[in-house]
Amino acid sequence: MMPRQLQLGRRKMNRILIGSFMILSALLVACSDSGDNEKGVDQALSNPFTGFASTLYGDAANWLCHPALSDADNVCAGNLDTTRIFADGSTEIESHNREANPAVDCFYVYPTVSGDPGTNSDLEKGPEEIFTTLNQAARYSRFCRMFAPVYRQATLAAIVNGTFADAGAVAYADVLDSFKHYMANENNGRGVILIGHSQGAGLLKRLVMEAIEQDEYLLNHLISAHLIGSAVRIPEGADVGGDFQQVSVCRMADQTGCVINYSIYRESDPELAAGLAVFGTPSNGLTAVCANPAALAGGEVSFRNYFPAGGIPGVIGSLIAERVDGPYAESASAPPITTPFYSMPDFISGRCILDENGISYLQATANADASDPRADDFNGEFTIFPGWGLHLVDITLLMGDLVELGAAQSTAWLQDQ
């Protein structure tokens, strides 16, 4: 098995090896006895979940996004049109176009959003789950068939009362069950991108460690893992090792079988400066990954952001610290936004940082200009949860970059098949 840490990507190297192997095989066959052909064995890898059927996820009603759902019931078929607002105040409408016949799949697990009173949520598609899936995952439908299960996640109440770890076992069982059902009944040999944020990223990290890295078939069908806001840790200076033994950090846009991972803090975050960061922390001698999808090779670059134009529902909306009221400095006299999303090109930029406290994070900076009509800041922090930084908008700030990278990785994976 080729090591995943090669920057050219395992599958790109495989093309070279396969070509050499075919030449060598032809020479060996030419020199072999005719009887040797009878000893040939089909070495094709098989899907480890063939024949599996989930009683829960066999019902499309327990999915937020699924090809079997009607557009009215499929969250990932929602309206994603966006008003782009430029520094001079001019605007343009960007329409979102879903791929009619995607060649690859995306499997998304949403973050902690449930305000249900127990430590685990129910299986209802609440406004929080719908809103978050539309904001964080649906845009991948530009090139992906979308799958997003409803799962009994550990709730906000579990964070407050200290039962998050115990509740996580129930949540993971649902995610594993849904993934096995997807692989057995829907995948049909297609490549898949895993997408998750916060709790969702943590559950998918466990899935990679305990299932995908243990099976060559699953590894070969992993296009990439976009695991945001929950640390994947590596030895400092390495791209593999630590949490993942075969899935390396993505360093090039055409690299596949790799992971994107980061957490975002504002450049001027006082809690970060005080060493109080919750995300991106080191552990057991390992450093958190920071792989910026907007600049995999490093350096400062603008982010392609997508903000919701409407309010954020449920308890989460009530916990957001409001620095600004939308994208305009004077919102009362600003032109109305008629699309469900807006974007501010070249407004937020950032780069990966490893600070003196060992915190590895993606630093975000608002490129404010008091003379233009756009607001000079953006929202992203919670009113509670000190040290969480811009966790709420980890994906929002780089949504366009994540989708662009996922599309490039998918193209590379398909070319290698």
Q: Quick check: is 40 in a domain?
A: no
Q: Quick check: is 11 in a domain?
A: no
Q: Quick check: is 35 in a domain?
A: no
Q: What's the gap between Cα 125 and its chain centre?
A: 20
Nearest to 244 by CA among 223, 214, 217: 214
Token pair for residue 211? Answer: 């299932």
d(CA 225, CA 192): 9
238 three-state secondary structure: coil
Q: Quick check: is 47 in a domain?
A: no
380 Cβ partners below 8 Å, 6+ apart?
Answer: 264, 266, 320, 364, 389, 390, 391, 392, 393, 396, 397
User: Residue 415 has what pLDDT?
Assistant: 98
81 three-state secondary structure: coil
Q: Quick check: is 353 in a domain?
A: yes
Q: Quick check: is 367 in a domain?
A: yes
Reported pTM: 0.89
User: Residue 240 has what pLDDT?
Assistant: 97
What string of pLDDT tens digits covers the 417 residues of the chain? 344 334 444 444 444 333 443 333 333 333 334 333 333 333 579 999 999 999 999 999 999 999 999 999 999 999 999 999 999 999 999 999 999 999 999 999 999 999 888 899 999 999 999 999 999 999 999 999 999 999 999 998 888 888 888 899 999 999 999 999 999 999 999 999 999 999 999 999 999 999 999 999 999 999 999 999 999 999 999 999 999 999 999 999 999 999 999 999 999 999 999 999 999 999 999 999 999 999 999 999 999 999 999 888 887 888 899 999 999 999 899 999 999 999 999 999 999 999 999 999 999 999 999 999 999 999 999 988 899 999 999 999 999 999 999 999 999 999 999
User: Residue 131 has what pLDDT?
Assistant: 96
What is the domain range of residue 73?
A: 60-415
User: Looking at 220-297, which runs of residues are DSSP E strands?
Assistant: 222-228, 233-234, 248-249, 258-260, 264-266, 287-288
270 Cβ partners below 8 Å, 6+ apart?
Answer: none
Number of compact structural domains in the chain: 1
User: Residue 17 has what pLDDT?
Assistant: 37
User: Residue 43 has what pLDDT?
Assistant: 53
User: Residue 16 has what pLDDT?
Assistant: 38
Q: Quick check: is 51 in a domain?
A: no
Q: Which residue has the tokens 């929202």?
A: 379
d(CA 282, CA 75): 36
Beginning with the edge strand found earlier in the chain, give each strand of the sheet holding 104-109 in spatial order: 63-65, 144-149, 104-109, 192-197, 222-228, 258-260, 248-249
What b/e sequence results for 175-214 when a residue is b if at least 16 CB atoms lie within 10 Å of its CB, and e otherwise?
A: bbbbbbbbbbbbbeebbbbbbbbbbbbbbbbbbbeebbbe
Q: Quick check: is 169 in a domain?
A: yes
User: Residue 259 has what pLDDT?
Assistant: 98
d(CA 324, CA 375): 7
Could you tell me where the DSSP H helices lie in 191-282? Answer: 199-210, 216-220, 270-273
Give whole-number Cα distances, 140 to 76, 203, 340, in Å.
9, 20, 16
Token pair for residue 405? Answer: 């990278």
